[in-house]
Homo-oligomer: A and B are copies of this chain.
Amino acid sequence: MLSGRASDRAYETLRREILQWRLAPGTVLGEVEQSTRLGISRTPLREALSRLTADGLVEAQSGRGLVVAQVSPAAVSELFELREALETAASALASERRDPGEFARLADDFDGAAALVEQGELEAYYALVERFDDAIDESLGNPYLVGALRGVRTHLQRIRRLSQDDPARLVRAAAEHRTIAEAIRDGDAELARSATRIHLRASLRHIQANPRLEASEPKESA
């Protein structure tokens, strides 16, 4: 059912499991163990691990082989520094290249997003954010920049699970997104940049203020 290559399936499966915390940070990824579990041989599994390492989701631990990359409060701050650099630039550039209609629609949708959140339709809200990200990517028309953004968003998915969905924060985030979308719609690059920075700083502060980071020690599988 899933696409042809075993290495692709292994990559997608492991990636999903890591992002969903089904594979916790520090988990040792033995080649034999994982290839057996996924029903493939070591060869395609190794390719999958290689790609995950390139993504930064898997790290080499001193002598112990590969483990799921750790997450620490410091890493979150560092990731957000990169994120701010990329997304402020992306918003500014998108302002100059966007399809105004698309972002007008997004601004309207974010206007109604508070209702979504308050009705518990979190999936719908996250889908809207994803549509927003896609619209920016498409406006940019820059594979290098989009690729860097993708990498950051990957890590963000894992971090998002640190602070559970807080409806109050999401309502505010929706308003911030709306401001960004309006600025891009109006072609106001500097305003888009500022609005993006404000949104990211608020997001980071929220995550830091809700530290669900259990000190994830490198642990042996039980």
Contact = CB atoms under 8 A, between A and B. Distances in A.
Contacts of A34: none
A54 B85 CA distance: 22
Given A54-B54, A82-B148, A85-B86, 13 more contacts: A43-B43, A50-B50, A50-B54, A51-B54, A54-B55, A56-B144, A78-B142, A78-B143, A78-B145, A79-B144, A81-B144, A82-B144, A82-B145
Interface in A146-164: 147-148, 151-152, 155
Interface of A: 43, 46-47, 50-51, 54-56, 75, 78-79, 81-82, 84-86, 88-90, 93, 141-145, 147-148, 151-152, 155
Most buried by B among A51, A78, A85, A155: A85
A142 B47 contact: no
B142 A82 contact: yes
A164 B63 CA distance: 44
A89 B148 CA distance: 14
B145 A81 contact: yes
A148 B145 contact: no
Contacts of A51: 50, 54
Contact of A50 (B47, B86, B144): B47
Contacts of A144: 56, 75, 78-79, 81-82, 152, 155
A56 B151 CA distance: 13
Contacts of A152: 144
A82 B143 CA distance: 10
Interface centre among A43, A79, A86, A144 (most CB of B within 10 A): A144
Contacts of A88: 85
Nearest to A48: B50
A16 B46 CA distance: 24
A36 B76 CA distance: 44
A160 to B, nearest CB: 16
Contact of A89 (B43, B81, B93): B81
Contact of A93 (B81, B148, B151): B81
A51 B49 CA distance: 11
